[in-house]
Amino acid sequence: MMDFLAIGDTTVDEFIRLKEAKISCDENRDHCTITFPWGEKIPYESSVLLPAVGNAANAAVAAARLGLSAGLVSNVGNDRFGEETLAVFQREGVDVSHTRVNDGIPTNHHYVLYYDSERTILIRHEAYPYALPENMTAPKWIYLSSLGEGAHAFHDELAAWLADHPETKLAFQPGTFQIQIGRERLRNLYAQAAVFASNKQEAENILGVGDTDVRSLLEQMRALGPKIVLITNGVAGAYGFDGEKMLKVPMYPDPKPPYERTGAGDAATATFVAALALGKPLEEALRWGPINSMSVVQFLGAQEGLLSRDALEKLLADAPESYAVTTL
């Protein structure tokens, strides 16, 4: 039985480092925008292309590096980028027997505009024929994340499959289009989730509320059905709630200023779920997540900084006393 089967779109990320831009934020450094002149030539410093990324792909690689048997249900095109994507997964030890190669549909290609340590991503999800693999062996965990707009029926198919396979636990980290679909359309998946995970702003969007305190968000998200709710909140840390214990963990201290933040949330969430899959209690799983997130932001892209289990546990053992789980 596979430990960890991620489901979601994979993509090629092309990172474009801007030389000039203007960043504007509100007084709390939230709701930031990036601007540059319209109708002009905009200089950039560099361009780097990274295949085999995306929420589910990043989670599968994170789980594999932490020692779990991991696979990916996804789609690529029958093109150069598809070949490079599959090669990365095979090198990382991620089972791609359930990743479909599609003729006539290209591999997803996103563009990441990054400036200082933050980024804005231009996304496009191709219209793949979403379907669960035939005769799929039930894994211990399914990790569901970002899919394209054409996946409405697929979500229903997965919910029905999960109802027939209670031995499989669901971790749900909704992507952009899954959040836009709305919680009512995906109510069966929320209700069946062993773990729900998002950042604070995504949780507010799902619930249709404005700026809300984390305690209320945890309670409202868990009321949708998930047994455990994980909410990350950038430099403020991460929060977990299992219906009894409401806990907080701070950021793991950065060894130096972050280089680029793509994949930080994926690293934290996937590592949290991997820790649970390894039998760790909620408190310890909360401490695992931010360590991998800290490591990822020291590098370009979502995967280079993902840690092995030995490396993560060493950082955990060397953590300062301030890196502790507390009751919210």
End-to-end CA separation in angstroms for the chain: 36
Q: Establish if 21 belongs to a structural domain.
A: no
In a domain, 226, yes or no: yes
For the record, the structure tokens of 32 come out as 């930031």
Tell me the pLDDT band of 115, cut-offs 50, 70 and 90.
confident
Query: 34-47 burial by CB neighbour count: b if 16+ within 10 A, else e?
Result: beeeeeeeeeeeee
Position 292 in a domain: yes
Which pLDDT tens digit goes with each residue over 16-57?
998 888 888 887 777 788 888 888 888 899 999 999 999 999
Our count of domains for the chain comes to: 1
CATH of the domain at 59: 3.40.1190.20
Element (H, E) at 230: strand 228-232
Helices (H), the chain: 55-65, 80-92, 152-164, 176-181, 187-192, 200-207, 214-223, 264-277, 282-296, 309-317
Give a yes or no: residue 45 inside a domain. Answer: no
Q: Evaluate whether residue 47 is within a structural domain.
A: no
Say if 44 falls within a structural domain: no
With a threshold of 0.95, does the pTM exceed it?
A: no
User: Using alpha carbons only, how large is the chain's radius of gyration in Å?
Assistant: 19
In a domain, 117, yes or no: no
**What residues contact 39, with CB distance under 8 A and at least 6 apart?**
none
Residues 96 and 60 sit within 8 Å (Cβ to Cβ): no
pLDDT in tens, 263-284: 899 999 999 999 999 999 999 9
Q: Tell me whether residue 19 is in a domain.
A: no
